[in-house]
Structure formats: C-alpha cells, structure tokens
Amino acid sequence: MYKFEKSLKNIINYSFLINTDNIIHIGYGIDNNYVRCCSTSIVSFLKNNLQQNFHFHIISSNINVDSISMLRLLAQQYNFNISIYIIDDNYFINLPTQKAFPTSMYFRFLLPIFNKNLSKILYVDADIICLNDIKKLLSFDLKDNIIAAVSDTKDMNESRNNNLNLKNHIYFNSGMMLINIQKWNEYNIFNKLIDILSSKVYDFKFPDQDALNLILTQKILYLPRKFNYFNGFYTWNKNSISNKEIILLHFTSSPKPWDLGWEVSSMSNDYNRDLYKIYENQTPWKNSLPVYPKHYRRLRIYSRDLYNHNYYLKSIKYYILYLLAKLKSRR
C-alpha cells in the first residue's frame, strides 16, 4: 500500500469566493513552467461561466514564490478559491518519464486523495481552455463509473490498445477527466496505477494515460468530443462539430499558443489563432513573450513556417539559429 499522502509538504489556500453555494472544483497537476498557461485556463473557465462559483486545485512540486503570488492576485481579482498543494516529487522518481512527459503528469492521480470530502472533481490539462458553459459536463451522472472522459483519435485507439493488449476498450485521452472521487478511492485506483507503472510489463509511450486506460477500462463514461476537442487533430469548420459547440479546446500539439512559432504554424488558423491570447491577456502574464523553443528542431520548423508565410528574412534568421543550436547540441 502506497502512502502518497505523505508526499504532501504543504497546502496554500486562498479564499476569495463571495458565494460558496454549489462550488465547482477543477484540478490541475503542473510544474512551474505551466503556471502561465494554467492561469489562462482558469480565466477561460471564469469568463465563460460568470454565474458559477469556482475552487481551483493545483498540485505542483516546484511552483515558486512569484507564481504563487500571481495566482493569489488572480484569485483576488476574480473572486475564486484556490488550493495549491506542494508535494515532494521524489515519491514518483522511479516511475517512467519522458522528455515530453515529466513527473508532473502523475500529479493528477493525487487529486481524489487530497479531496476525499468531495463527490467529484474535474481534472483538466493546463493546455485546455474553456469556451462555453460547463454545466452540462458537470451534470453527467457517473453512476458506477470512475471517470467520464473523451475517446482519443482513431489512430491512437488502434495503436495504443494493440500495444497495451487492451480488448473491447476505447482508448481515452486523460487531458480531461470528470472523476468520481468516492469510486476512485473505493477501488484503490491510485495504488493500482503506481503498481502497473512500476511493473515494467508494458511499453508505456504515454505513461500516465496508458496506465489510466489499463486500470479504468470498463469503468469509463464516454462523452461527446466537444468536451475535449483536440486542436490540430480535427479540421475546423469541416466536421460535425461547429466551433460554437466546443466546450473545452485542448491544445494537444506543438507549438502551443504561448510558444514562439504558434501564429505561423499549421496548428493555428483564423478561428483559433487568438483564442488563447484573449484569456492570457486577462492574467498577470498578459505581457509575457512567447516561449523560445527548447529543442533546435523546433527552430527549423519555425523557419520553414515563416518561409511559407513569406517572411523570408526572418526565416533565414531562424534557420541560422537552428544551425547554430544544432551544432551546439553536438559538442
């Protein structure tokens, strides 16, 4: 039995709600690099659900004092409650990670443990923004299901189910989960997840998501795609879902809207180009510069995208920067 409650070092609570009736609880699991977009996600919920009362829960291991201070300012400005759980991520150090999937991907597992007094909590990735009323999402009766979620793409469903040897299962995306807290804890889901991730039996490509699919199979209420709509995987304005129907928009692909290169990338279009910025401009991060690519390959892609948009001189500049960064990486 894993006692990961012991990983909790501190809880910081800020309470600015004026009305505490029918509070909606939303959770995130992030490292300090994602506080900026997490704040933008929070504001998107607030702005599209003006009559609702919110309590946001953020689990992090390395959130710094400045980030905490800005989250407090945000809570005070918009009158919501926020709980920040500071944990020791050494408790997860032996679990599989990847460059794109750091230890923080596992923090979501702790939300039902830290909030046993609640009936349910909505977990969302920090790269999700809310575009419409979420009352319908929260009103779903989970019954005996442990979570409600949205299926992943057809290709992901086929490849991951085959790799994980999952039968009669629809592979879901774990970026949005409406969690039945009582059932999660009753079925000891946290410990089962840690066991399977520690077993080294499976080839985990998306460790947290793969483990969740393995453990929660047959205990999932599947929801319409509008509740976790993947930017970049579906063609805008050419499918059964109109832009106006989307409830939660998930920026699953790179570059992200806060990254250098977003505006000229294939992920960006006339509909979604400024959506993220609308909400970020209402946070303390409103004047932040785009995030510079961490890997030199993103510079090459940015250079290509600039060229395709006729920004030739700028394209040359970033191609040179790409070559320099590539040479530096090989030293």
When pLDDT is cut at 50, 70 and 90, the band that residue 239 belongs to is low
Look at residue 5 and tell me whether its pLDDT is greater than 70: no
Look at residue 316 and tell me whether its pLDDT is greater than 70: yes
254-297 tens-digit pLDDT: 899 999 999 999 999 888 999 999 999 999 999 899 999 889 99
In this structure, what token pair is assigned to residue 216?
Answer: 């929660």
Q: Is the separation of the CB atoms in 33 and 103 below 8 Å? A: no
Cα–chain center distance at 144: 25
Residue with tokens 């180009």: 273
Residues of the chain with CATH 3.90.550.10: 4-229
List Cα–Cα distances, 320 to 53, 56, 81, 317, in angstroms: 50, 43, 47, 5
User: Region 39-52: what's the mean pLDDT?
Assistant: 98
Could you tell me where the DSSP H helices lie in the chain?
Answer: 35-47, 65-78, 111-114, 135-138, 154-164, 181-186, 189-198, 207-216, 275-280, 296-308, 312-329
Cα separation, 247 vs 223, whole angstroms:
12
Q: Is the separation of the CB atoms in 223 and 150 below 8 Å? A: yes
Task: Read off the pTM.
Answer: 0.94
In this structure, what token pair is assigned to residue 323?
Answer: 């070559």
| Phi and psi torsions of 285, nearest 5° | -95, 15
Look at residue 235 and tell me whether its pLDDT is greater than 50: no
Q: What CATH topology corresponds to 4-229?
A: Spore Coat Polysaccharide Biosynthesis Protein SpsA; Chain A (3.90.550)
Helix axes 154-164, 207-216, angle to 10 degrees: 70
| Phi and psi torsions of 108, nearest 5° | -60, -25
